[in-house]
Structure 1
Amino acid sequence: MRRTSPAVWAFVITSTAGFMAALDNLVVTTALTAIRKHLGGGISDLEWTVNAYTLTFAVLLLLGAALGDRFGRRRMFLVGLGTFTFASLAAALAPNIDALIAARAVQGVGAAMLTPVSLTLLTAAVPAARRGLAFGVWGAVNGMAVAMGPLIGGTVVEHLSWQWIFALNVPIGLALLPLARLRLNESTGPDRRLDVPGTVLVSAGLFGLVYAVIRGNDDGWTSTPVLTGLIGGGALLLGFLAWERRSAAPAVPLRLFRSRAFSAVNLATALMSVGMFGAVFLLSQFLQAAQGYSPMEAGVRMLPWTGMPMLVAPVAGLLADRIGGRTVIAAGLTLQAAGLGWFASVVSAHVGYAAQVPGLVLSGVGMALFFAPVATVLMGAVRPQEQGVASGVNNALREVGGALGVAVLTAVFTAHGDYGSPQRYVDGLVPALWVGAAALALGAAAALAVPRRSGADQGRAAESPGAQAAPPLAVRG
């Protein structure tokens, strides 16, 4: 009997864990109505059920990558997976909205530890000649998880209960833990000191900004808490950049951004998340709050969007090999922007579903084209020893973009509409979708700034002339 190769085990384990972590970004969106009815809370509480996860996920990803480089990526993967599994159980058992938000924050901590090391564990296990395909499929799986969140969440809520969208993570996590321990090889990166001050600065800064955006419409944009969040958060982020420039062991080596490919693909990732996360958050509720569909019916009607990555991702990978990731990523973001623009143009309180389908299809095809080549372009823009940090930065910016997208588009929504009636919902939804479309269009422009050069050339460009070479990647059995 043929023995399963380590590369296959690494792909299955890291992809499954990554799927769970990515799924929990938006799996709650079609459950928000049920959660609100059961646990209470207003729209800001519902935002925090999403953003408590995405924000802790985002701000701790860089620390997770550094911990993996120093103490072992398999070890950190196991700790993160265990934390995520335990927090999922706590979320399922949450007795009130505050407990649910707290459990979601701990889920984000676990996801931040396992996600950045997943890609580097896969890199160590897969032969160099097959990494492009492996990265493409890995990226498509994670992208599909984000997109499928509303459908999976709606189906589970309708046939079981909202608690099960979290409880289902528990048996999967418990099954993966021994497999990861036995089948993944340990690997480490440069033995760096941990950048605790940098992590604290960026965490507090991002929290302040997101808090201010969420509370702006309720408290007033000139209120003391909101101004404190905006000004204080911005100041802390500037302090983070200043600290990183002079730190001997920065969480984010700023010299990586001297690579145009690295900077451009990360900016495109952040802007994609702003548009996509915010739009999915609002559109999944539109189908329920304004059009009266059940959670499962809403999820099914989003399938032209969420199901497209499964059909288009393989084609996207082939296109990226032939014409380059730069063009495919830019095309994907352009199609997503066109999809949201279409939806904003046709949506009304009583719009028929057939009129919505073209916008959903455009967005779904665009999502598939974006996710498939991103990992290949990213990993080709840095040295092998820096892939752990690069993965952490990219995932962090994706999650930061998601948190800001939900906060910003919801702020636009609440400035123009509310849940009071289908028409009031549409009044808020339309301008929010145009903001999301604009973010995606800017992301397409950023993607076009990725050089046409090969991945190897991009990786060499990431090195600064006087930079000290990092030690080679150590892999232990």
Structure 2
Amino acid sequence: MTQGSRRRWTGLVFISVAVALIIVDSTIVNVAIPAIVDDLGITSSQVQWVQEAYTLVFASLLLVFGSLADRVGRRRMLLIGVVIFVLASVGAALATTGDMLIAARLVQGVGGAMMLPTTLSLLNATFRGRERAIAFAVWGSTIGGMAAVGPLLGGWLTTEFSWHWAFLINVPLGIAIVIGVLLTVDESRGDAVSIDVVGAILSVVTVGALVFGLIEGRTYGWLLTDKPLELGGWTWPWDLSPVAVAFLVAAIGVVLFILWGGRRRRAGKPTLIAFGLFRIPSFRNGNIAAMVVALGEFGLILALPLWLQFVLGFEAVQTGLILLALAIGSFAASGLAGALSGRVAPVWIVRTGIAAEIIGVAAVGFVISPDASWVPLIPALFVYGFGVGLATAQLTGVVLADVPTTEGGQASGTQSTSRQLGAALSIAILGTILFSTTSAVLTATLDDRGVPAEQRDQVVSAVVDSAGGAIAGLERSPQTAQFADDAKAAFSQGTKYASFAAAGFLAVGLLATLSLGGGRGRGAGRDEDDAKVETGAAEAPENA
């Protein structure tokens, strides 16, 4: 192995650690959330926002920084992102209120959005041929594996130290990434173009309004105002719910984003999304599949730690150990995916992986009950993780298979945005299913017991607003101990429904992959010379 080759592969290690930092932080908080609920007293809506604040900004800005990195330098953008991410992590660790923690998570999302698309485009620019396929496999398996290692690490840190260390762990990792990338990764750039600022603003507003509506619908009302929105001294004055207005804003935002992008493209100006790339079938259909699959992959990781700790009574580290089955399955799958590379069409590996995810997630749903054992959860989570490991890396390769290197930043930013948008919607939708079902089931159960309406509402609000954290308090108090079992059953039912909904999204994602070609392809992000014919065809007028 030459010195240059060794340097490339060493650089891959540090780039993978950067990816691990992003993914771990998006999952490590889930196991720490129960401790944060107890310490800061955050509500169930804030529980969702602690996760969503990160994911929302992350998804909204990926396109912006994917394009900007091509202009200012991908390595430079990665390093700036790491610094912002680490500083925000310190802010999160020092937070004393839920609002402070959410604000720090918003800033973390900015740093993460700078990092993720640049890691992918750096690999795209650094490696060629089979080496590139291997690098993408490592990148993808890191995402799959770290999504499960995060809860284990978070559980250990929370149990042995405190939830603050779930964020402080990012500091030494960030320092290592900065030093390693400076020593082993060369700078790379794409074509220097202007940034579509209006498109960036429209994308942030659209995604933000959509996620706000999905999370806050149960709080403020889906159509008419159930509870007035208050911001400082201002109160929402209309009968029409702010959630309905948010959905309207999101719908208008989508239309304006497309119209604005089309106008700039016709004028020969750069757009936030390279709309011409969507004429490449593998890129267009792969992005659709990636978003739908992500809808089923991520939200369940929000619900399970809450159920395991607040209903079954596990400690954070025990929860992390149970979820480790996900990581083991993912790592096992990544090895198999590597062995199958070049022998089996990537799209068939993707389909097999999604099918395994459906089986695993549905099995989790059937296992969930107030008195469930952890034993049957292990094989179900292993199968789920095995599917994630198979599908993640190969789906990325399918999406970028026919994209030339010169447009790698925009392309990788778009496919990452598709997945992160799916993840954001997943957390919002499955979290809403979890808490809405818990509220409805517990309300009905207490009504059947003849509990007075005022006391019923107090119990339901305590359980739902605390994301299940109040169940232990119900058990300890003689006046409310009788309601603890009802609360556990309701929370279990909510978690079960969230699991089945996740399996349903994955099933839709599997159907979406049927629109992808079944050929073997030639690897992700081909060089421009390798793709001139296809790209030229893709950029031809639609009526040609």
- TM category, shorter: over 0.9
The answer to whether the 8 A contact 1:325-1:374 is kept is yes
Alignment of 1:29-48 (within 5 A): 29-48=30-49
- Is the counterpart of residue 326 in structure 1 residue 347 in structure 2? yes
1:389–1:84 CA distance, 2 compared to 1 (3 A): same
Amino acid at match of 1:350: D
Q: Distance in 1 between matches of 2:522 and 2:332?
A: 30
Give the equivalent residue in structure 2 for 1:347: 368
1:425 matched to 2:426? The reply is no
Q: Distance in 2 between matches of 1:73 and 1:462?
A: 26
Match of 2:243 among 226, 230, 237: 226
1:264-323, Cα deviation, whole Å (9 max, x unpaired):
222222122211211111012111111000001011112222321122211122224211
* Deviation (angstroms), 1:139: 0.9
Aligned to 1:384: 405
Q: For this pair of structures, how many residues does the alignment match?
A: 468
Q: 1-side partners of 2:359 and 2:538: how far apart?
A: 44
Q: Which moved more, 1:53-62 or 1:351-360?
A: 351-360
Structure of larger gyration radius: 2
d(CA) in 1 for partners of 2:311, 2:385: 22
Contact 1:7 1:122 in 2 (8 A): no
State the TM-score, normalizing by the size of structure 2. Answer: 0.83
- The whole-number CA distance in structure 2 between the counterparts of 1:382 and 1:464 is 11
Tell whether 2:322 aligns with 1:301: yes
TM superposition shift of 1:178: 2.9
2:170, 2:278 → 1: CA distance? 36
What is the distance in 1 between the residues matched to 2:520 and 2:328? 31
CA distance in 1, matches of 2:301, 2:115: 25
| Equivalence map 1:51-90=2 (5 Å) | 51-90=52-91
1:373 lines up with 2:384 in the alignment: no
1:400 aligns with 2:401: no
Q: What's the CA shift for 1:182?
A: 3.1
1:82-161 equivalences under 5 Å are: 82-161=83-162
In the alignment, the residues of structure 2 paired with residue 284 and residue 332 of structure 1 have an alpha-carbon distance, to the nearest angstrom, of: 23
Deviation (angstroms), 1:53: 0.5
1:206 aligns with 2:272: no
Read off the aligned partner of 1:274 and give its amino acid letter.
L
Q: Is the 8 A contact 1:10 1:125 kept in 2?
A: no
1:416 aligned partner, one-letter code: T
Whichever residue aligns with residue 107 of structure 2, its letter is V
The answer (yes or no) to whether the contact 2:89–2:168 under 8 Å persists in 1 is yes
Task: Letter of the 1:245 partner, please give it.
Answer: G
| TM-superposed deviation, 1:448 | 2.7
Are the counterparts in 2 of residues 6 and 125 from structure 1 also a CA contact under 8 Å?
no
Matched AA of 2:56: L
Equivalent residue number for residue 253 of structure 2: 236
Instruction: State the one-letter code of the partner of 1:242.
Output: L
Distance in 2 (alpha carbons) for counterparts of 1:466 and 1:429: 44
Instruction: Determine whether 1:264 maps to 2:281.
Output: no
Q: Contact 1:258 / 1:462 at 8 angstroms: preserved in 2?
A: no
SS at match of 2:188: strand
Which residue of 1 is the match for residue 535 of structure 2?
Answer: 463
Return the alpha-carbon distance in structure 1 between the equivalents of residues 147 and 198 of structure 2. Answer: 31
1-structure distance, mates of 2:263, 2:219: 39
Return 258-267 or 22-31, whichever deviates more.
258-267
2:348–2:518 Cα contact (<8 Å) kept: no
> CA offsets per residue over residues 12-46 of structure 1, 9 Å max, x none?
12111111011111110011110011111111101
Partner of 2:28: 27
User: Which deviations, in whole Å up to 9, do the C-alpha atoms of 1:377-407 show, x marking residues without a partner?
Assistant: 2331311211211111111111111111011
Q: How does 1:176-195 map to 2 (within 5 A)?
A: 176-195=177-196
Q: Which residue of 1 aligns with 2:508?
A: 442
DSSP-derived class of the 1:353 partner: coil
Equivalent residue for 2:384, pick from 344, 363, 368: 363
1:73 to partner: Cα distance: 0.9
In structure 2, which of residues 242, 260, 263 is the aligned counterpart of residue 246 of structure 1? Answer: 263
The worse-fitting range, judged by mean Cα deviation, of 394-403 and 143-152 is 143-152
CA distance 1:444–1:462, change in 2 (3 Å):
farther
Residue type of the alignment partner of 2:259: A
What amino acid is the match of 1:22? I
| 1:234-266 superposed Cα distances (whole Å, 9 cap, x missing partner) | 211221111112222111012212222112222
Q: Using the aligned pairs only, state the percent identity.
A: 32
Instruction: Verify the 8 A CA contact 1:261 1:451 in the aligned structure 2.
Output: yes
TM-score between both structures, scaled by the size of structure 1: 0.94
Aligned twin of 2:475: none
Question: Partners of 1:25 and 1:250 in 2: how far apart?
Answer: 29
1:74–1:184 CA contact under 8 A, matched in 2: yes
Give the match's secondary structure for 1:251.
coil
Matched with 2:173 is 172
Distance between the aligned counterparts of 2:321 and 2:135, measured in 1? Answer: 29
Q: What is the match of residue 298 of structure 2?
A: 277
CA distance in 1, matches of 2:261, 2:78: 26
SS in 1 for 2:208: helix
| SS across alignment from 1:187 | coil
Distance 2:311 2:350 in 1: 33
Given that 2:282 and 2:400 are in contact with CA atoms closer than 8 Å, whether structure 1 keeps it comes out as no
Question: What secondary structure does 1:307 align onto?
Answer: helix
Equivalent AA in structure 2 for residue 160 of structure 1: F
Superimposed CA distance per residue, residues 354-382 of structure 1 (whole angstroms, 9 cap, x where no aligned partner):
23233212211111111232232233131
Structure 1 unpaired stretches of 5+: 469-477
Amino acid at match of 1:8: W
Could you give the per-residue CA deviations for residues 65-94 of structure 1, whole angstroms, max 9, x where no partner exists? 111111111111111111111111111111
Classify 1:462/1:404 alpha carbon distance in 2 versus 1 (closer, same or farther; 3 Å): farther
* Secondary structure of 2:372 counterpart: coil
What's the CA shift for 1:125? 2.2
* Cα displacement (A) at 1:430: 1.8
1:15–1:138: 8 Å Cα contact kept in structure 2?
yes
Deviates more, 1:454-463 or 1:277-286: 454-463
Question: How many angstroms does 1:466 deviate by?
Answer: 7.5
Please state how far the C-alpha of 1:210 moved relative to its aligned partner. 0.4
Q: Which amino acid aligns with 1:27?
A: I
Contact map agreement 2:397 2:523 (CA 8 A) in 1: no
